Amino acid sequence: MDALAALMKGPLPDLYFCIGNPVVGNPTQYMVEEAFSALNHPGRYLTCEVQPTELEASMWGLRALQFAGGNVTAPFKQQVFPFLDDLSESARLCQAVNCITRQPDGTYVGDNTDGKGFLQSLKEALGDIAQRKVILFGSGGAASAIATELVLAEIREVVLVNRSEDKAQAVAKRLQGISKTIVRTEKWEGTYRLQEDGLVTVQATSVGLFNKQACINVEFEGGLKDCLACDVVFNPVDTAFLQKAREAGWKTLDGLGMLVNQGSIAIRNWTGLEPDRTLMRRSLEEAFAVLTK
């Protein structure tokens, strides 16, 4: 009885969540809990598959149980808006939430850390990015979040390339005039040729996810100076898109850094602590090694 009493003393561990559908195979829980352990933070992270018809009940349940925060993945990144008390600037501009934090007053704020995570990786790879031009493929959640952060960072130019140009134009319209960044769109027809010195290109579609051979229809010009190709796909880490870029002499940036950085930002939002990003990346590599066996 004394042991049981001792066990129940002290504060309960903070609870965190990941909700989506499907979420089987999502490695975030392993990465976050490894980071919590290294920080000696008494947090528990639960991955929960939520049926679309049960989202409202799930969100009020998470609030009632006073979860300290969590992540949101597809298809709920916009559908959670009605259940939040406020949104960050990034979430409002890209119209998607992937991170929720409970504030000291009990309110819940939605943020989008995807674009922030990418921007951090880009700055680590290039240093000063202010004068760069970015060609961004895709117009979904990841592309919108990345475009938002690039505009907020006042990069020189962002070109949104998508086969459905109306989707790209909708993103561009939201971001026009926010900063001095030039934001424009191009319709993607046939093979898109990348042929400028100093160019940064970002593959922000899901093409290549869990498929080592799949690649969007692009052609990298060889012999260019100071070019960087980035892919948001993190499994496989070395995608066909990145391999194709390297063959043309381009530098590359994989999607694992973005995943680690957005997780790091989320943990900092939730706990105020700075996690070990090297450990987080290593934990993801371990998780992917298990998933691909």
DSSP summary character for residue 184: E
- Tell me the two tokens of residue 255: 């999607």
Percent of the chain with pLDDT over 90: 84
- Among 99-103, 154-158, 227-231, 285-289, which stretch is predicted with the lowest mean pLDDT? 285-289
pLDDT in tens, 254-269: 999 999 999 999 999 9
In the predicted model, what is the mean pLDDT of residues 78-85? 96
**Matching fold, domains 2-113+258-291 and 115-255:** yes
Looking at the structure, give the CATH architecture of the domain made up of residues 115-255. 3-Layer(aba) Sandwich (3.40)
Q: Using the predicted structure, report yes or no on whether residue 21 has a pLDDT greater than 60.
A: yes
Phi/psi-derived region of residue 154, left when phi > 0, alpha when psi is between -120 and 50, beta in every other case: left
Domain ranges of the chain: 2-113+258-291, 115-255
The pLDDT, as a whole number, for residue 24 is 83
H or E element that contains 133 = strand 133-137
Pick the CATH number of 2-113+258-291 from 3.30.70.1140, 3.30.2130.10, 3.40.50.10860, 3.20.20.140: 3.40.50.10860
The answer to whether residue 232 scores a pLDDT higher than 90 is: yes
**Model pTM score:** 0.90
pLDDT at 235 over 90: no
Strand partners for 69: 16, 101
Write down the pLDDT at residue 98: 95
Q: Could you tell me the pLDDT band of residue 19, with boundaries at 50, 70 and 90?
A: very high
- Residues 181-187 have a mean pLDDT of 95
- Alpha carbons 68 and 110: distance in angstroms, whole number: 12
Exposure letters 89-114 (e unless 16+ CB within 10 A, then b):
ebbbbbbbbbbbbbeeeeebbbbbbb
Q: What single letter denotes the amino acid at residue 59? A: M
Whether residue 171 has pLDDT greater than 90:
yes
* Cα–Cα distance for residue pair 102/85, rounded to 1 Å: 10
The closest of 79, 81, 59 to 70, measured between CA atoms, is: 59
Chain centre distance of CA 131: 24
- CA–CA distance, 223 with 235 (Å, rounded to integer): 29
Q: Is 77 a catalytic residue?
A: yes
CA distance 21 to 15: 20
Q: Considering just the CA atoms, what is the radius of gyration of the chain in Å?
A: 20
pLDDT of 96 > 60? The answer is yes
- Residue 32: other Cβ atoms inside 10 A: 27
Angstrom distance (rounded) from CA 63 to CA 42? 19
Mean residue pLDDT of the chain comes to 93
pLDDT tens, residue by residue, 261-292: 999 999 999 999 999 999 999 999 888 776 65
Task: Measure the CA–CA gap between 82 and 76, rounded to whole angstroms.
Answer: 11
| pLDDT above 70 as % of the chain | 95
Predicted confidence at residue 10, as pLDDT, reads 64
Q: How many residues does the chain have?
A: 293
Q: What angle do CA 139, 142, 148 make, to 5 degrees?
A: 80
Cα 160 from chain centre: 18
pLDDT (average), residues 197-220: 94
DSSP 158: E
**What Cα–Cα distance (Å) separates residue 264 from each residue in 154, 267, 270?**
23, 5, 10
Q: Which of 77, 123, 167, 244 is catalytic?
A: 77
